[in-house]
Every structure is written in C-alpha cells, then in structure tokens.
Amino acid sequence: MNFSWTDHETGVRERIAAVVKPLSDELIRTFEQMPLPDLKRTVASIQESLAEAGGFVVGSDPESATQGIAESIHLGVLARASVSLFLTVRATAEFAGLVACFGDASMRAKILDPLAKGRTIGAVGLSELGEEAEIGPAHVTREGDSYRLTGRKCFVTNGPIADWVAVFAHLEGHDAICLVGPDQQGVSSSARSELMGLNGIAISDLAFDEVLVPRDHLLGPFDSTAARSWYQLSADLSIAVAACGLMERTVHAASEHARHHRRGGKEIFARQEVRFKLAEMLTLSQTADLLTSRAAWARAAQSPDARALIRCAKVFAVENAEKVAGMALQITAGAGYRKGSFCERAYRDAKGLALAGTAVEVSRMAIADEILERY
C-alpha cells in the first residue's frame, strides 16, 4: 500500500500552496464585504493563478474533466485557508466539467478555453425552493431552432458574479442544461444572500423569465440522470474536501489555544479532558481526509465504488466537521465564542457545509441502495 503522492502531485500541491500563502485571513475576510465587480475580478485572478499552478484542472473531454474533479483533492490547501474561496473556485470547475462531459465539440471549443485559464467564473443552478420544485420546476420549451427557459434557482454559489450559469431544467420530461449569461434578457439575480456562515461565497437566487437559449447553448435533453448525478457527485466531493480542510485548520486552532492558554496554573493542554478532545478531533479529521482521498482516487480511476465512496466521504466529513468545530469551541471557550474568532466562524461554516450539496439523509438512502446493488 502506498499513501504518498507522486512527484507530479507533490509539485502541484506545492505550487498551489505558493498561490494560497499570500491569502491571509484578513485579506480573505475582505471578500465578504467587497463590491461584486471587485470580487469578480479578485476571484478570476485567484483562479488564473491556480490554473497556472495546475490546481484548477478543467478537462476538455469527459475523462479529463472527471479526472480534474478528482484532483480537487489537491486544492485542500485552499480549503484550509478559506472554505468559502475553495467552494467558489470549485463551482467554476463544476460548471466547466458539465460542459466538458456533456457538451459537444463546438460548445467545448467555444466555452472551455477561458474557463481552463481561470479567466471566467461559472455557476450551476440545480436547487429550487421546495414549493417551486414541487409545483413548477424550471423548464425549457422549444421555439423553432432555439429554446425558452423559465424558472428559479436558489442558493447558487457564484450567482451574482458568474459569467456563465448552467441551469438544470426539464425539457419534455427529460433533464436538460441551459447555459446562460447574466446579461441575457430575462436573467436576474437577487442581491448577494446574507448567510449564517460561509460568508466569503457570493450566493444568490437566480430567476429566468422566458430566456432565449440558442441550440448550441443547450446540453441534452438526456435520457438518463447521468448529468445530474455527475454534478451532484462532483459537488459532494468538493464539499467533503472543504470539510476536511476546515477540520484540519480547526484542530490546529484548538491545539494552539490549548498550548498557550493557562488555567489553574497550567496550560490547558495538560488536562486530560482537553487532550482527549484533541485526540478525537485529530482522529476524525484524519479519517475524513483518508476517506475523501480514497473517494477522489476511486473517481479518478473510474471505479464503480466511486459513487458510494463519495457519498460516504461527504456524510462523514460534514457531520464530523460540525463535531470537530463544536469541540474546538469547547476548548477555546470564551476566546472561541467571541464573534469573528476562527472557531466561531468554523462552527458556522461547518453547519453550512452540512446543508450544502446532497442532503445527508438522501445520501444515506443512496448509500444503502449502493449496498443492496453492489456490496
């Protein structure tokens, strides 16, 4: 068994770390209040640097796109610096992955090049508000050689700053994906959503009112749920990597505090109860990391185990990120509970990760289906 990275992977990880190094906590926090045009420029510039470093891999065909998604594991160092920034960058990669996997050659040639260089920002709209998803999901109708898209998508990562949005919609009973730009007639975005955590992400709700979609901007219609599953698994893997980065950083923050904070004449690190918590936090963080790496490896190897492993990794990582953040707050106590402290933010971010992507209840049911089918 070999748990080490190849020379190529080590090189990529070092180059990503060099891009991430100047991104201090203070700088990253400015993204939360930044005017959207400035944020858009900043995100594009970080994406460009990551693309040059080999940390933002946009494939030009299905195989390399899936490989690129699996390689998101190397971007873990970015997740460690900022979960929000990591998910922002991954949303662009997931948009690009959909085009690479499900678009035709001319669409790929037209759209992928600037994305691969990190210059444009992508978003994917799948989720709808409960009632809307039940009564009137986003839909596309044919109009001559073109299509018309109507509907709403909620909680779209990069919604207010995206150059391209991939919108899942129904077309004559099948899934289809419309690629639309923010300036197209009929496309509108809510203001940037104010959230409990993950405040560095620009999220909004998007509305589509009879938006004209040319034939070469429509993917599908698909006879199966392959595109939807591809996206959900990619997004869930990204969320698992994000949770691992958050846990690693949280263990570090709690351990630093425990080494230096004194109570009753000793550093609290000397207390067995604190040591036990730190030991459990590290165990959970390392286990999540191993499982997520294995899931990413299975995806890159196109193993039939990948589906179940990604779901297991996502459920394990997000649930334990919450647990680890809770224990870190217990250790850092008053200092951690102050608004703006790393642990206070990690606690709120961890909850956001647990809610994003496929719901853990739905993931567990899907894992059970995989067990029935394959194990």
Ligand X SMILES: Cc1cc2nc3c(=O)[nH]c(=O)nc-3n(C[C@H](O)[C@H](O)[C@H](O)COP(=O)(O)OP(=O)(O)OC[C@H]3O[C@@H](n4cnc5c(N)ncnc54)[C@H](O)[C@@H]3O)c2cc1C
Q: Which residues bind ligand X (CB under 6 A)?
A: 91, 124-127, 130, 153, 155-157, 198, 203, 352, 355-357, 359, 361-362
At its nearest, how many Å lie between ligand X and the CB of residue 296?
20
- Judged by beta carbon, residue 247 or residue 331, the one nearer ligand X is 247
Phi-psi region of 40 (alpha: psi -120 to 50; beta: other; left: phi over 0): alpha
Residue type, 41: R
- CA-derived radius of gyration, the chain: 21
The residue whose Cβ lies closest to ligand X is 359
Of 118 and 125, the one with the shorter C-beta distance to ligand X is: 125
Q: How far is the CB of 357 from ligand X (least distance, A)?
A: 5
By beta-carbon proximity to ligand X, the closer residue of 44 and 156 is 156
Strands (E), 158-249: 164-171, 174-180, 187-189, 203-213, 218-222
Q: Judged by CB, which is closer to ligand X: 120, or 332?
A: 120
Helices 342-355, 226-260: axis angle to 10 degrees equals 160
CB of residue 91 to ligand X, shortest distance in Å: 5
Measure CA 240 to chain center. Answer: 8
Place of tokens 């730009």: 181
Q: How far is the CB of 294 from ligand X (least distance, A)?
A: 24
Within 8 A by CB and 6+ apart from 21, the residues are none
- CA dihedral for 270, 271, 277, 283, sign (positive or negative): positive
> Toward ligand X, which CB reaches closer, 131 or 145?
131
Cβ 122 to ligand X shortest distance, Å? 10
| Closer to ligand X by Cβ: residue 101 or 274 | 101
Would you say 127 or 303 has its CB closer to ligand X? Answer: 127
- Tell me the closest approach of the beta carbon of residue 298 to ligand X, in angstroms: 22
The answer to whether the beta carbons of residues 203 and 192 sit under 8 Å apart is yes
Bond into 221 cis (ω within 30): yes
Position 333: which residue type?
A
Q: Is 19 helix (H, G, I), strand (E, B) or coil?
A: helix
Q: How far is the CB of 105 from ligand X (least distance, A)?
A: 27
Give Cβ neighbours of residue 375 (< 8 Å, ≥ 6 apart): 308
Nearer Cβ to ligand X (65/268): 65
Distance CA 229, CA 303 (A): 15
For residue 344, what are its two tokens? 């206070």
Check: CB of residue 246 under 8 Å from CB of residue 354: no
Smaller CB distance to ligand X: residue 91 or 309? 91
172: which residues sit within 8 A by CB, 6+ positions away? 221
Exposure on the CB side of residue 40, measured as CA atoms within 13 A: 16
How far apart are CB 18 and ligand X at their closest, in Å? 28
CB of 233 to ligand X, least distance (A): 13
